[in-house]
Amino acid sequence: MSFTPARRRTAATVLTAALLVPLAACASDDTTKDAGGSTATGSTSAAPPANLTVLAAASLTDVFKTAATAYEKANPGTKLTFSFAGSQELVAQVSQGSPADVLVTADTKSMDKVKADTDTPAIIAKNRLVIATGEGNPHKVDDLKDLADPKLKVVLAAPEVPAGKYSEQILDAQKITVKPVSQEPNVRAVLSKVELGEADAGLVYKTDAESAQDKVDAVTIPDDQNAIAEYPAASLKDSRNAEAAAAFVAWLSSPEGQKILQDAGFQKP
């Protein structure tokens, strides 16, 4: 049978369409649906390469070093540099225009002070306080009331530090008066005093005590006497790496980021 030119073009069109159907089906196989029902490709796009400076609360020191290793491996070309300090110091740095890309504080009030300088923050983790004592708890500290013993050398974070505010809050609620031998600029300094034996006890975050469990003991504070610390993270509006900064903040809330935080003892947001 012979075909006219028009019929040849029609047959070619039908054949081409038939060949494209299985190709489209193959392409759809690489598309999956996430938990919310939206579609996403089978591979996740890496964040754009960048050198990011992250201002982070002192209590995140250990876990963020672990997070950096995982994040840099997943995003070749990206380098994370951290500046750890009390949240009040970090906020002061942002207010003074120090160059940085991401801010993570240990309370929402600190983040609120620089809301004009940040994108919308996301809570990435929660924490709670414990009483840190020397290894073996030599002074037999059992609860918050024991911290009022004038013979006990107690160290706390300064009132302007989130850990200090939380400490003040729970002690006031229990009507316990503590006269600390020192008030430190961040919670890791409190932990260090106890580790070195310069203090008998101190109020620190649960994760801080866990990071030094071979040097200190942690006395649990009941939930009804405790305070919950929330950690907001936000990219800074003046960041020169806006896309990469936002990607890192989003990653902290991803399953991988959350696993690292929770393995270190942080609670779910």
Burial letters for 68-107: b for 16+ Cβ neighbours within 10 Å, e otherwise?
Answer: beebeeebeebebebebbbbbbbbebbeeeeebbbbbbbb
Q: Domain 51-126+230-263: which CATH class? A: alpha beta
Q: Which fold has domain 127-228?
A: D-Maltodextrin-Binding Protein; domain 2 (3.40.190)
Q: Is the pTM of this model over 0.95?
A: no
Residue intervals of the chain classified under CATH 3.40.190.10 are 51-126+230-263, 127-228
d(CA 93, CA 89): 6
The amino acid at residue 225 is: Q
What pLDDT is stored for residue 47 in this prediction?
80
Tokens standing for 165?
């505010």
User: pLDDT tens digits, the chain, 269 residues: what are they?
Assistant: 444 444 334 434 433 333 333 333 333 333 333 333 333 333 344 688 999 999 999 999 999 999 999 999 999 999 999 999 999 999 999 999 999 999 999 999 999 999 999 999 999 999 999 999 999 999 999 999 999 999 999 999 999 999 999 999 999 999 999 999 999 999 999 999 999 999 999 999 999 999 999 999 999 999 999 999 999 999 999 999 999 999 999 999 999 999 999 999 999 99
